[in-house]
């Protein structure tokens, strides 16, 4: 199946959705970076509320294993969001498997901390390719399917949701590659929202606080706790625990963000029909909008 065939197939199947109880009963959802961490946690909540879910990840083996833990309405598919061809193949395979796409959660992301003196152009380009270009690639391919579905059912709404970051709302010392890509992601979200609303596609961003238990922060070799300690991001910190305590103290609620917290914001984005182009903080009060 090519993209044109996938669009026609999605149009034919737009009224064919499984009868499953739940807040997202019968919807077809894709979560990039879905094999672990935030992505898996979000996918788990979507599945629990009745969605059929594609766990899309560059680690295909882990994506399949994670999908198997959810059940028969979940599947793992390999994707490199930095590759337009890979993302297009993802949406085609999703349509082949489930018949369409109703919700696309662009969650895949990377971080590389470091000062201007330390970070190389190659490292900066890598973060930008995944977090910024990758989001564009996802919206471009997912919206092709959603536009086709809109032709067949002009009354239905569809959702593209970027899992952004509180670092997309405020700058981040010694973490400019990540923060810059996330600021850019919010600009893309607002612009895509204006362009796609005519097709009843809502585009929103969720800006979580820190998920301390996930690999992005806690990986013992590449996690942000280690990166921030080595980069001197936290003055006076001598251990990873010092860095973690510093960040815990920044939130009035004094805990890290969880996938369930983010999933609740995803449900809000999908269920409401009067909001698009927004950046929704889920940061425990660490980042407050003016």
Tens-digit pLDDT profile for residues 36-79: 988 999 999 999 999 999 999 999 999 999 999 999 999 999 99
* pLDDT confidence of residue 61: 97
How confident is the model over 210-217, as a mean pLDDT? 80
Residue 87 pLDDT class (50, 70, 90 cuts):
very high
Question: Residue 18's pLDDT is what?
Answer: 85
Query: What is the DSSP annotation of 72-114?
Result: TTEEEEE--TT-HHHHHHHHHHHHHHHS--SEEEE--------
Annotated active-site residue in 178, 212, 228, 247: 178
Q: Measuring CA to CA, which residue among 278, 241, 283, 280 is closest to residue 258?
A: 283
Cα–Cα distance measured from residue 184 to residue 131, given in angstroms and rounded to the nearest whole number: 9
Q: Which domains does the chain have, with CATH numbers?
A: 3-209+258-282 (3.40.50.720), 212-256 (no CATH)
What average pLDDT does the segment 122-126 reach?
A: 97
Q: Is the pLDDT of residue 186 over 80?
A: yes
Go through 6-16 and write b for each residue having 16 or more CB atoms within 10 A of its CB, e for each that does not.
Answer: bbebbbebbee
| Bigger pLDDT: 42 vs 173 | 42
In three-state secondary structure terms, 213 is: coil
By the 8 A CB rule, do 69 and 181 touch?
A: no
Among the listed residues 255, 218, 225, the one whose alpha carbon sits nearest the alpha carbon of residue 243: 225
Predicted confidence band of residue 219 (pLDDT cuts 50, 70, 90): confident
Residue 140 region by backbone torsions, left for phi larger than 0, else alpha for psi between -120 and 50, else beta: alpha
Active site annotation includes 228: no
Mean pLDDT value across residues 206-229: 85
pLDDT band (50, 70, 90) for residue 284: confident
What are 240-276's pLDDT values in tens digits? 889 988 988 888 888 889 999 999 999 999 999 999 9
Query: Per-residue pLDDT for 214 more than 80?
Result: no
Q: How far apart are CA 22 and CA 169, in angstroms?
A: 32
C-alpha span between 128 and 136 (Å, rounded): 11
> What is the pLDDT confidence band of residue 289, given thresholds at 50, 70 and 90?
confident
- 124, 175 Cβ separation under 8 angstroms: no
Is the Cβ–Cβ distance between 192 and 203 less than 8 Å?
A: yes
pLDDT value at residue 285: 87
pLDDT band at 6 (very low <50, low <70, confident <90, very high): very high
For position 287, what pLDDT does the model report?
85
Residue 175: HSE in the Cβ half-sphere, 13 Å Cα cutoff: 25
- The overall average pLDDT reported for the chain is 94
Residue ranges with strand state E in the chain: 28-32, 52-57, 74-78, 103-106, 158-163, 201-208, 279-282
For residue 174, the model assigns a pLDDT of 86
The lowest-confidence range among 73-77, 135-139, 198-202, 224-228 is 224-228
Predicted pLDDT of residue 218: 83
**CA-based nearest residue to 34, from 58, 60, 56, 59:** 56
């Amino acid at each position: 199946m090519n993209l044109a065939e996938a669009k026609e197939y999605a149009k034919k199947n737009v009224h064919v959705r499984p009868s499953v109880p739940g807040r997202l009963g019968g919807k077809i959802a894709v979560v990039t970076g879905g094999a672990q961490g935030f992505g898996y946690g979000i996918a788990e909540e979507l599945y629990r509320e009745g969605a059929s879910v594609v766990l899309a990840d560059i680690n295909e083996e882990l994506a399949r294993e994670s999908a198997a833990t959810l059940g028969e309405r979940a599947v793992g598919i390999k994707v490199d969001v930095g590759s337009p061809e890979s993302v297009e193949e993802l949406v085609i395979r999703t349509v082949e498997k489930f018949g369409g796409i109703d919700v696309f959660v662009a969650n895949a992301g990377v971080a590389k901390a470091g000062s201007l003196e330390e970070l190389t152009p190659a490292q900066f380009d890598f973060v930008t390719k995944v977090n910024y270009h990758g989001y564009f690639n996802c919206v471009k391919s997912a919206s092709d399917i959603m536009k086709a579905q809109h032709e067949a059912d002009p009354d239905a709404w569809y959702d593209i949701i970027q899992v952004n970051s509180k670092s997309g709302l405020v700058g981040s010392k010694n973490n400019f590659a990540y923060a810059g890509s996330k600021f850019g992601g919010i600009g893309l979200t607002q612009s895509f929202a204006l362009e796609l609303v005519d097709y009843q596609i809502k585009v929103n961003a969720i800006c979580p606080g820190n998920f301390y238990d996930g690999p992005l922060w806690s990986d013992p070799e590449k996690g942000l706790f280690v990166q921030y300690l080595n980069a001197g991001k936290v003055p006076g910190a001598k251990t990873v625990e010092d860095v973690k305590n510093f960040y815990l103290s920044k939130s009035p609620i004094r805990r890290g963000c969880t996938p369930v917290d983010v999933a609740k914001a995803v449900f809000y984005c999908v269920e409401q029909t009067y909001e698009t182009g927004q950046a929704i903080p889920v940061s425990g009060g660490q980042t407050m909008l003016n």
